Amino acid sequence: MSAGLQIPLNKLPEWSLWLDQAAQRERIPHAQMLVCEDGGIAWPLALDYLHRLLCAAPSALGACKTCPSCIQLANLAHPDVHWIIPVVGGEGRGDDEDSSAPFLADFRRFLLDNPQPLANDWVELLGGKQKVVQISVKESARIQRLLSLKSHGGGFKVVVIWMPERLNDSAANKLLKLIEEPQDRTLLLFISHDEQSVIATIRSRCQVHYARPLGSSILIDGLMGLGIPADQAELLAELSGGQPGQAVMLHRNRDALREPLQWFVTFMRLVYKKDLLALLAFAESLAKEPREQQKQWIQVSAQLLSQLLRMRHGALKNSLFSWFPDVSFQPEALAGLIDETRHREIQDLLQSALADIQRNINSRIVLSDLGLQFMRLFAERR
């Protein structure tokens, strides 16, 4: 896979040991789960790991990338590696009803286009958010079948399962049996963007690895490698929260930021006017949006507020507000209210709200509380 945003994994030192173990075929737990935010680095890590595990001639630098095994894997066409992805239940194609196999060609193009894929983009490609996109019980039966086959290359047999959080209950239970009774030289590799929603009995039986957000310089370099100018790459790296897939999505679809920006403007106006009732109503309506949107709103708000601080110091070249001249807002006035202390407190509030939403705490309460805290903070005379 060569298109799309490339991140040099050898610059992420925390992963070297794990990847090396694959090359040496050592300590390969048969059930592992990679966890990252949506659009994070787990997919490239998983593919690199599998390349090393299956390569015919791995070296200290990793897989050779030229042997038949490497080439097949790069095309998601390795006979010993199988891909399970959530699809629209009940709308299977042909005999493989409910199974992801017929969707693999679409998925291959999808992953080539964005090597750090977003769950939302996949759901949309399948026909939208109104449909139930899941991994059905038929898939668990298929996984069982696949793992019992003889390995083509004589090495490991692998099943990669994207979004175990979307396994339906009976699929998860059936899969659990496979995890509990492992076969020799098999690997179940889960890639999750919502660890808390993965059924606990599966989670607890996996070796779990967390892929943290990328540092900004490595992400900015990657974005500039796509021909994006430095100042924009910087802004995208910030807004994406270090998740490369998010940065690419925002670059391609600036309009995705319009709504969170407008919500931010509304929210700050209500805070400034001390309109408590309207602020609570705002929190309530935001809480009805999908959780991903709420998280994005908090991330965008956090970036906007730190941009305002930089604006106050005259250190801002390219603010998000300048991308949307039609959104009526005078950032300079708000910038005047944000000093370092207040900015630090604001960021703490936003980060703790984000953590609460990630932990599935009731959004209505989290967002109402956030509004109240903001009102208190801006009402204090400094």
Considering the complex, state which of residue 26 and residue 326 has its C-beta at the smaller distance from Zn ion.
26
Interface pattern 30-69 for Zn ion (x via CB under 5 A):
-------------------------x-------xx--x--
Considering the complex, state which of residue 46 and residue 63 has its C-beta at the smaller distance from Zn ion.
63
> For residues 297 and 257, is the Cβ–Cβ distance under 8 A?
no
Considering the complex, state which of residue 70 and residue 143 has its C-beta at the smaller distance from Zn ion.
70
CA distance 184 to 160: 17
* Alpha helices by DSSP H, 253-379: 258-273, 276-287, 291-312, 331-335, 340-358, 363-379
Given the structure tokens 């109402």, which residue do they identify? 368
Q: How far is the CB of 63 from Zn ion (least distance, A)?
A: 5
Q: How far is the CB of 2 from Zn ion (least distance, A)?
A: 16
Q: How far is the CB of 74 from Zn ion (least distance, A)?
A: 10
Check residue 70 for interaction with Zn ion (CB under 5 A).
yes
CA distance 214 to 275: 38
Considering the complex, state which of residue 55 and residue 235 has its C-beta at the smaller distance from Zn ion.
55
CA distance 210 to 191: 10
- Interacting positions 196-215 with Zn ion (CB under 5 A): none
Considering the complex, state which of residue 55 and residue 161 has its C-beta at the smaller distance from Zn ion.
55
For helices 276-287 and 363-379, the axis angle rounded to 10 degrees is: 150
Considering the complex, state which of residue 73 and residue 304 has its C-beta at the smaller distance from Zn ion.
73
CA distance 214 to 240: 10
Check residue 22 for interaction with Zn ion (CB under 5 A).
no
CA distance 192 to 335: 38
Considering the complex, state which of residue 80 and residue 234 has its C-beta at the smaller distance from Zn ion.
80
Q: How far is the CB of 67 from Zn ion (least distance, A)?
A: 3
Check residue 74 for interaction with Zn ion (CB under 5 A).
no
DSSP of 84-147, one letter per residue?
A: E--EETT---TTSTT-SGGGHHHHHHHHHH-SS--HHHHHHHTT-TTS-EEB-HHHHHHHHHHH
Q: How far is the CB of 78 from Zn ion (least distance, A)?
A: 11
Considering the complex, state which of residue 29 and residue 153 has its C-beta at the smaller distance from Zn ion.
153
Q: How far is the CB of 55 from Zn ion (least distance, A)?
A: 3
- Interacting positions 308-327 with Zn ion (CB under 5 A): none
- Interacting positions 254-283 with Zn ion (CB under 5 A): none
Q: Do the bridges between strand 133-134 and strand 87-88 make them parallel or antiparallel, or are there none, so unpaired?
A: antiparallel
DSSP of 254-273, one letter per residue?
A: GGGGHHHHHHHHHHHHHHHH
- Interacting positions 323-382 with Zn ion (CB under 5 A): none
Q: How far is the CB of 71 from Zn ion (least distance, A)?
A: 8
> For residues 4 and 114, is the Cβ–Cβ distance under 8 A?
yes
Q: How far is the CB of 48 from Zn ion (least distance, A)?
A: 12
Binding residues for Zn ion, rule: CB under 5 A, are 55, 63-64, 67, 70
